[in-house]
Amino acid sequence: MEFGLTEEQEQIREEVARFAENEIVPEAEKYDEEETFPHEIVDEAAEMGLVGSSIPMEYGGAGYSTLETVIIAEELFSYDPGIALSIMACSFGTEAIEAFGTEDQKERFLEPVAMGEKISGAAISEPDTGSDVSSVSTQAEKDGDEWVVNGNKMWITNGTVGDFFVVLCKTNPDAEGRYNGFSQIVVESDRDGFSADKITGKMGIRASDTAELIFDDVRVPEENLIGTKDAAFMQQMQFFDATRVGVAAQGVGIAKGATREALEYAQDREQFGKPIGEFQAIQHKLANMATETEAARNLTYKAAWHVDQGEDITKLASMAKEYASRVAVDAANEAVQIHGGSGYVNDFPVERFYRDSKITQIYEGTSEIQKNVIARELLGKGF
């Protein structure tokens, strides 16, 4: 058994931390307040190769594995989740293109993302389709050599800043079985009939862009269909392990950041003539936060490692996602508590962590859905 990181992985962590401290931390409050997308920081991150880091070297990425991507996500999210997501999500949806795309599709879509020239997105959820993905109603109909897409997608990360989206569409309404008849189709944002409506007023990760997408007779060439027609559900499911581990890493990062801030504050703030960190009640909070973060990290790294071995780890990935997101929310909560009144205003980053942490229990499958998955696997029931 080997628990250590390689020298290369340590180096990635350190360089990402350096980037975050210098480029993200000073700007985090501003982007949160203004609820705007951090284009400048994303451009710099792209220059460093943080965007699309898992895209293979031959298409301009760094070709990093799930574990390395987890390390990057953990580090970025420990400084500011909103900006971190803005960076990490620039390549959302490209995993399907990487796995199932043709050579032509990879060149068209992967390269510009890895170079930081284009931003992608993954459009699955709809106003009436959340946890039950099989109820997707956005339709794509074949007309000559084009697909004509109609429908609405809801809560789409990068909605108003993205250049293209991998859209889960119903392509065969007559297919039998709940999970059949869906395809993944790339829709570029400059196609006629495409529009995006920014969703404002988010509780957290406010730097990250979220929007509703509207497809009104949007025509795309048939070459935009990724992989096999009508088999998208199976294609999509393959990435749940990796993407859920990715959100687990976000949770680990938030817990780590909240703990770091709380630890510092506990040593500075004095009451009753001594630093509050001298009180056992505060010490125990810090001990719990650090222990739970470590446990979440181990679960997450283990899951990532198994994904990289090419194994199917549905249960483990859901465990990591559910547990790490819970730890993130708990740690952020305790960090605010340790800050007292100062934690209730945005003078300190913990107020932001508190708001940002919640999303990790919602997107990429809610905590309830993760528990359903874990239980189903335990009980040996198929999906």
Partner 1 sequence: MKILVTVKEVATVEDEFEIEGTAIADQYLGADLNEWDDYAIEEAVQLQEDGIADEVVTVTIGPEDCEQTIRQALAKGADRAVRIWDDSLEGVDLLDVNAKTEILSAVIEEEDPDLVLTGVQAGDDSFGATGVSVAEHLGYQWGAVVNHLEHDLDDGVASVRRELEGGVEELTDVELPAVLTIQTGINEPRYASLRGIRQAQRKPLDVQGLDDLGVDDSAVDSDLELTDMYEPESESDVTVWEGGAEETAAELGDLLRDKGVAP
Ligand X SMILES: Cc1cc2nc3c(=O)[nH]c(=O)nc-3n(C[C@H](O)[C@H](O)[C@H](O)COP(=O)(O)OP(=O)(O)OC[C@H]3O[C@@H](n4cnc5c(N)ncnc54)[C@H](O)[C@@H]3O)c2cc1C
Q: Return the active site residues.
A: 364
Question: Can residue 167 be called a binding residue for ligand X (CB under 6 A)?
Answer: no
Binding to ligand X (CB under 6 A) within 249-268 occurs at: none
Q: Which residue stretch of 68-76, 101-109, 237-245, 367-375 sits at the interface with ligand X (rule: CB under 6 A)? A: 367-375
Do residues 80 and 28 touch, judged by C-beta distance below 8 A? Answer: yes
**Residue from 28, 53, 186, 369 that binds partner 1 (CB under 8 A)?**
53
> In degrees to the nearest 10, what's the CA dihedral of 208, 210, 215, 218?
0
Q: Where are the alpha helices (DSSP H) in the chain?
A: 7-19, 28-34, 39-48, 66-77, 81-88, 94-100, 103-105, 111-114, 232-268, 280-308, 314-339, 350-357, 367-378
Q: Report the 10 Å Cβ neighbour count for 179.
A: 15
Question: Can residue 77 be called a binding residue for partner 1 (CB under 8 A)?
Answer: no
Non-local CB neighbours of 116 within 8 Å, separated by 6+ positions = 42, 43, 45, 46, 47, 51, 90
Angle between helices 81-88 and 350-357 (to 10 degrees): 50
Question: Can residue 237 be called a binding residue for partner 1 (CB under 8 A)?
Answer: no
Site string for ligand X, 82-121 (x = CB under 6 A): ----------x----------------------------x
For the bound state, the minimum distance from the C-beta of residue 373 to partner 1, rounded and expressed in Å, comes to 32
| Between 10 and 222, CB nearer to partner 1 | 10
Please tell me what DSSP assigns to residue 5. P
Do residues 23 and 40 touch, judged by C-beta distance below 8 A? Answer: no
**Residue from 191, 269, 362, 377 that binds ligand X (CB under 6 A)?**
362
DSSP letters, 237-267, are HHHHHHHHHHHHHHHHHHHHHHHHHHHHHHH
For the bound state, the minimum distance from the C-beta of residue 7 to partner 1, rounded and expressed in Å, comes to 6
Collapse the DSSP code of 313 into the 3-class scheme (helix H, G, I; strand E, B; otherwise coil) and give the result: coil
Collapse the DSSP code of 172 into the 3-class scheme (helix H, G, I; strand E, B; otherwise coil) and give the result: coil
From the list 196, 173, 207, the residue with the least C-alpha distance to 25 is 207
Q: Which residue stretch of 259-267, 336-344, 345-353, 364-372 sits at the interface with ligand X (rule: CB under 6 A)? A: 364-372
User: Nearest-CB residue to ligand X?
Assistant: 130
Question: Can residue 372 be called a binding residue for ligand X (CB under 6 A)?
Answer: yes
Question: Can residue 217 be called a binding residue for partner 1 (CB under 8 A)?
Answer: no
Question: Can residue 57 be called a binding residue for partner 1 (CB under 8 A)?
Answer: yes
For the bound state, the minimum distance from the C-beta of residue 24 to partner 1, rounded and expressed in Å, comes to 12
At residue 141, what are phi and psi to the nearest 5 degrees? -115, 140
Site string for ligand X, 184-213 (x = CB under 6 A): --------------------------x---
Question: Can residue 160 be called a binding residue for ligand X (CB under 6 A)?
Answer: no
Q: How many residues bind ligand X (CB under 6 A)?
A: 19
For the bound state, the minimum distance from the C-beta of residue 192 to ligand X, rounded and expressed in Å, comes to 23
Which among ligand X, partner 1, none contacts residue 63 (Cβ within 5 to 8 A by kind)?
partner 1
Question: Can residue 64 be called a binding residue for partner 1 (CB under 8 A)?
Answer: yes
Question: Can residue 48 be called a binding residue for partner 1 (CB under 8 A)?
Answer: yes
Distance CA 81, CA 71 (A): 14
Distance CA 59, CA 94 (A): 12
**Residue from 27, 29, 36, 63 that binds partner 1 (CB under 8 A)?**
63
Query: Beta strand pairing status for 270-271 and 182-188?
Result: unpaired
Q: Which residue stretch of 13-21, 27-35, 180-188, 208-216 sits at the interface with partner 1 (rule: CB under 8 A)? A: 13-21
Distance CA 261, CA 264 (A): 5
For the bound state, the minimum distance from the C-beta of residue 197 to ligand X, rounded and expressed in Å, comes to 14
| Between 122 and 350, CB nearer to ligand X | 122
Which among partner 1, ligand X, none contacts residue 130 (Cβ within 5 to 8 A by kind)?
ligand X
Query: Interface with partner 1 by CB under 8 A: which residues?
Result: 7-8, 10-12, 14-15, 18-19, 47-50, 53, 57, 61-64, 72
